[in-house]
Structure 1
Amino acid sequence: MTQILQRTVLFADLRGSTALYETLGNTEATTVVTRSVALISQIVSTSGGVVVKTLGDGLMAVFADSVSAVVAADEMHDSLDRIVPPSGQRSVPVLKLQVGLAHGEVVEMSGDCFGDAVNVAARLLDHAGDNETLATASVVAGLSSDMRERCRSLDKVQLRGRVEPVHVYLIEGRRFGDTAATAYGELLPQAEPEGIRLVWLDLNRVYAGPSLPVVLGRSPQVTYCIDDSRVSRSHARIDWHGGAFQLTDLSYNGTYVRFSTGSEIVSLRRGTCTLHGSGLIGLGATLTDPTAPCVRFEVLKFADTQPQDAL
């Protein structure tokens, strides 16, 4: 029977399985991936959702409301650490989880679901970094006030195959207080964002506080627009997380970083690195290519720029 219902659609994708197969071999890697998918499937069920189908290294599920879907996504991220290779090896590559959430009208037919919300949730995985949950504005609107406080707007994002951009939010991990624990158990207050300067040609901007995160890309809708055909519409994102600026690659052609203090080029393929000091960010082409679209960055410490009292 065909039904038209309002549902929150969840797509979850495990990344890093290729490296697992290379390190562990087919048998053990298959066991790890299978256990991981089974675990997140179980979480869907215990959170009140329904698994529509598994998709290789991930799954698609639907929930009656946004709160249940976000609770499930949180539990997926928290529980993935329980998966340990059968051999007990700890030096093997770690699986990363990306989650996309969209809410809207879906058509349920023959055990499957169709509709714009399904397509949008699936496309959000293209823009999610490691261990991140991205959600549409319609999902955020259905959350409780304390959950909405964890949602940071990434502004409108152009999704593959869709004409109109979609307002996307990053749902931060669950916070259990306003302080952060150190390795020694002491608690420190959360640091306020510093500033970061980005320079490409004559486009010189400084971002901090409410203006974060910053999305770099070719689309006019992104925060920092770079008009070059090698740059994806939403190519990379800079966040303030854990007391540091984090650069996440969202593209198909890759993002490259070289710090002023060294000559090594860090290659990001759907990965993340911490930005410190100053250096160069190459978008869509390695920094060894002199024609590569290249953004200069500088992490600013505003405290150092404040006037000091005379001694």
Structure 2
Amino acid sequence: MPELTIAFVDLTGSTSVFETLGNDRATKAVTKLTQWIGARGQANGGTVVKMLGDGVLLAFADNRAAVDSMVQIQQEHAKRVQQWPAHLKLLMQIGLARGSVVWVDGDCFGDAVNLASRLSDLAGPEQIFASDTVIQSLGPRSLVRNRSLGAMRIKGKVDTCEVFRIEWQADMQSEFLTVPADLHAITPKDDSDFAGIELAWLDATRTFNSSDLPLRIGRVPEASFVVSDPRVSRMHATIGMVSGNYVLEDVSSYGTWVRFAGSESVVQLRRQDCVLHSDGEISLGAPFSDFSAPTVSFKLMDGSMALARSAAASAR
């Protein structure tokens, strides 16, 4: 069986387009865009397996060509839609997976196909999610920027799968962001200094130990902490440990805002990082000034407190 990289490109925003343009005009617009995606993929060595209404399934023998093609498609389309009215914008969420594939009557089947589809579902608009096999096949010298989102439990798979987000925007930053007026010098700590973090939203409260990291905040069931609000992306943000510090990373479509206890300053994140140096609140998809914004409170706990909270949760 040949080993291929499968790309699943799904369009978002089609509901609004159909409501605005009507079925005939909207169908033509969606078809024109999916045909363009297919043509761009073919130009980079890919094969269009099939069109799926508002999606495109492609297969690539060359893994690097697949990644480069998806990055190029996102970059070119981002320029194209800048002048489009907001209610007519069709954006793309892309899933990439590599593995053995079986061809039957021009269609392809296999775990990589299913995984690419699931990763596309998990990705938000303008995002590219890739499996570990795709990233590993790029090799250590690859210049493709990517971030691990940690091991996720994917529907239909027994084992967890490490998922990566491929960064295609030229203005993406990877530095930790802080508010200088609020922070003392941040120095590396032992992981035991902060042994747990508690997240709370409405009536839901969960405690995560350092062994649970990285954890994911989002609106899909696969998220570690689920926030069911339409402004929250499927996978909105991650919290991990770097040099003993808890680090929040925004991976959403609409941004994340952080406010620390005792401070009026707000850190706004747009696919950026922030060190969680003390307790505070996280607003997802809308700023704190929006009273209806889904807001998650967080508390950093020492080892004994985290152990006690975890034991209490297990006893329930």
TM-score after normalising by structure 1: 0.63
- Which stretches in structure 2 are left out of the alignment for 5+ residues? 180-196, 240-247, 261-269, 275-279, 286-290, 300-316
Instruction: Supply the distance in 2 between the matched residues of 1:24 and 1:133 (Cα, whole angstroms).
Output: 28
Partner of 2:61: 64
- Contact 2:217 2:235 (8 Å CA) reproduced: yes
Distance 1:92 1:238 in 2: 25
Shift of 1:108: 1.1
Gaps of 5+ in 1: 182-188, 250-255, 261-271, 299-311
Q: Is the 8 A contact 2:174 2:273 kept in 1?
A: no
Is residue 30 of structure 1 aligned with residue 27 of structure 2?
yes
Q: Report if aligned partners of 1:36, 1:80 keep a CA contact under 8 Å in 2.
A: no
SS, match of residue 15 in structure 2? helix
How far did 1:160 drift? 1.4
Residue number among 193, 198, 208 corresponding to 2:177 in the alignment: 193
The Cα shift of 1:75 comes to 1.5
Aligned residue for 1:215? 216
- The corresponding residue for 2:118 is 123
Cα deviation, 1:43-81, whole Å, max 9, x if unaligned, reads 111000100001011111110121010011012112224
Cα distance in structure 2, aligned partners of 1:84 and 1:70 = 21
- Among 153, 156, 164, which residue is 1:158 paired with? 153
Q: What letter matches 2:37 in structure 1? A: I
- Give the total of aligned pairs: 245
Which residue, 40, 43, 54 being the options, matches 2:51?
54
2:64 aligns to what SS in structure 1? helix
Residue in 2 that maps onto 1:94: 89
Map of 2:236 onto structure 1: 237
Q: Give the corresponding residue for 1:246.
A: 250
C-alpha contact 1:102 1:117 (8 A) present in aligned 2: yes
Which amino acid letter does the alignment assign opposite residue 55 of structure 1? L
Between Structure 1 and Structure 2, which shows a larger proportion of helix residues? 2
Q: What is the Cα deviation at residue 93 of structure 1?
A: 2.9
Quick one: structure 1 residues 273 and 70, their matched pair in 2 at CA, closer, same or farther if it must change by over 3 Å? Answer: closer
In structure 2, C-alpha distance between the alignment counterparts of 1:216 and 1:236, rounded to whole Å:
6
Q: Distance in 2 between matches of 1:84 and 1:174?
A: 14
Contact 2:9 2:93 in 1 (8 A): yes
Q: How far is the alpha carbon of 1:204 from its aligned partner?
A: 7.6
Paired position in structure 2 for 1:39: 36
Relative distance call for 1:219 and 1:51 in structure 2 (3 A) is closer
Normalising to structure 2: TM-score of the pair? 0.62
RMSD over aligned Cα atoms: 4.6
Q: Is the 8 A contact 2:177 2:273 kept in 1?
A: no
One-letter code of the match for 1:248?
S
Structure 1 residue 218: deviation in Å?
A: 11
